[in-house]
Structure 1
């Protein structure tokens, strides 16, 4: 499993060498755009609308922040590197401990499995057992993918897991949602509430993740598999782009040579016919 991050996890004066591995695998079926006649993938070129240069080269692209209409402040790569070095979290410190139910699920972002480096197995098990015994989770800060994250560490089955969570200012207030009805505006009859509660209780079952499938993805994969089995596939032979360029250039040169050949004068044509007749 690919290692996303490795370093030290500090638990008081106890250091645990750890590695992080993504716990989530994207199962989305990727469909690409191709030209319906040529059957080649579509490429998207970078352009600057209104710029005389047309296509933009990678070295001509800089990072900027838009703070108003047509107003930008440019941030150099060096400035970004300096900030990253200053605020990058190289060692993860357990800041505090809370109850898991204190954090609303809206805050959770992405999950990573934690495993110990060689020599840290004992302290890893110690932290796992201590968290399990107290029923607490740890709050940490960590730098992942050039960004500082707030995260929690908790027990997951027989191991530990780190889950990045959103900062409070990243979670929008529900007050921004319009037309939310209040209990003062809507009156619910007791018999309606009892019936709804009864229905919820009847549909309550233990949560078994394997019982839930992505039906659309399954159907799409079945459709693709059926098309492949029926050989209902579009085949495009792979062409060496350099060879194609050479061929197209030679064709263009030969056509140009033919088009630019000087026409024979009437005297030359007559002499040529006389010579053929004599021979």
Structure 2
């Protein structure tokens, strides 16, 4: 399993060297955009709309747009300095809370926590303490230059870190349009709805849920592959060579067409007479 972060996690005076591994993966089926004519994948280039030209990476600077078309440019050196000042490779658990106190809307991404060399005993200690107390740890960690709020909890026999949104990253629910302010339902309607909920209530089993669209899409793709309904992108070199060959042939044909007919060679008789006169 690929390691995405190395460092340590601490609570009180206990320090645990750890590694983080992504706990989830995106299984969306990625579709490419092809040119319908030659079936080649399309390229997306960085272009300047004012200069009307492609921009190289060394010509790009980072900036913050504080108003429409007004920017504050930030140098790479300044950003790197801020990163070094804040990127302490340690996760400090600052509070312990109950998991149910955090609404799921805050949760962002999950990472499995594995102990690094020398951290097995302390890892086991934290896992057991969280299990027995029924609590989770609230911590801060910097991943890819971004400071994240996170929680540390037990999942089966493994410690898991879940990054969570800061409160100001969760939009104000009062801004959601058209939400009814009162419960305008009858008692009979409510009883029927609650009866339906009771009938559909069961224990959560994640294995029973599947991505039906993804499965159907893969079946369609495999069916088309089996029927050999596939295309191959045009080879760039072959295409270029062909264009050059066609162009050279056209140029040569044009030259041949404009050539003046060559003069007829002198007859043998005329040639002999010219020789005698000489």
Tell me the TM-score normalized by structure 1.
0.89
Q: CA deviation at 1:240?
A: 6.1
Residue 219, structure 1, aligned to residue 212, structure 2: no
Q: CA deviation at 1:262?
A: 10
> What secondary structure is seen at the aligned counterpart in 2 of 1:271?
coil
Q: How does 1:8-27 map to 2 (within 5 A)?
A: 8-27=8-27
CA contact (8 A) 1:89 1:148 kept: no
CA 1:161–1:60 in 2, change beyond 3 Å: closer, same or farther? Answer: same
> What secondary structure is seen at the aligned counterpart in 1 of 2:118?
coil
In structure 2, the partner of 1:178 is 177
Q: Deviations over 1:171-220 (max 9, x none)?
A: 0110011221122xx43222222211111111100000000000000000
Q: CA deviation at 1:255?
A: 4.7
Distance in 2 separating the partners of 1:275 and 1:64: 84
Q: How does 1:107-118 map to 2 (within 5 A)?
A: 107-118=106-117
In structure 2, the partner of 1:34 is 34
In structure 2, the partner of 1:270 is 263
Q: CA deviation at 1:259?
A: 4.1
CA contact (8 A) 1:64 1:72 kept: yes
Distance in 2 separating the partners of 1:264 and 1:231: 51
Distance in 1 separating the partners of 2:186 and 2:259: 103
> What secondary structure is seen at the aligned counterpart in 2 of 1:82?
helix
> What secondary structure is seen at the aligned counterpart in 2 of 1:95?
strand
Residue 188, structure 1, aligned to residue 181, structure 2: no
Q: Deviations over 1:72-121 (max 9, x none)?
A: 11111111101111111311111110000010000000000011012211
Q: CA deviation at 1:12?
A: 1.0
In structure 2, the partner of 1:44 is 44
Q: How does 1:110-149 map to 2 (within 5 A)?
A: 110-149=109-148
Distance in 1 separating the partners of 2:253 and 2:195: 88
Q: CA deviation at 1:275?
A: 6.4
Q: How does 1:53-68 map to 2 (within 5 A)?
A: 54-68=53-67
Distance in 1 separating the partners of 2:163 and 2:88: 14
- Unaligned 5+ residue runs, structure 2? 272-278
Distance in 1 separating the partners of 2:15 and 2:206: 34
Q: CA deviation at 1:254?
A: 6.1
> What secondary structure is seen at the aligned counterpart in 2 of 1:270?
coil
CA contact (8 A) 1:89 1:141 kept: no
In structure 2, the partner of 1:73 is 72
RMSD over aligned Cα, in angstroms? 2.5
Distance in 2 separating the partners of 1:264 and 1:8: 82
CA contact (8 A) 2:41 2:233 kept: no
Distance in 1 separating the partners of 2:255 and 2:94: 80
Distance in 2 separating the partners of 1:159 and 1:170: 28
Q: How many corresponding residue pairs?
A: 271
Distance in 1 separating the partners of 2:189 and 2:249: 85
Distance in 2 separating the partners of 1:167 and 1:244: 53
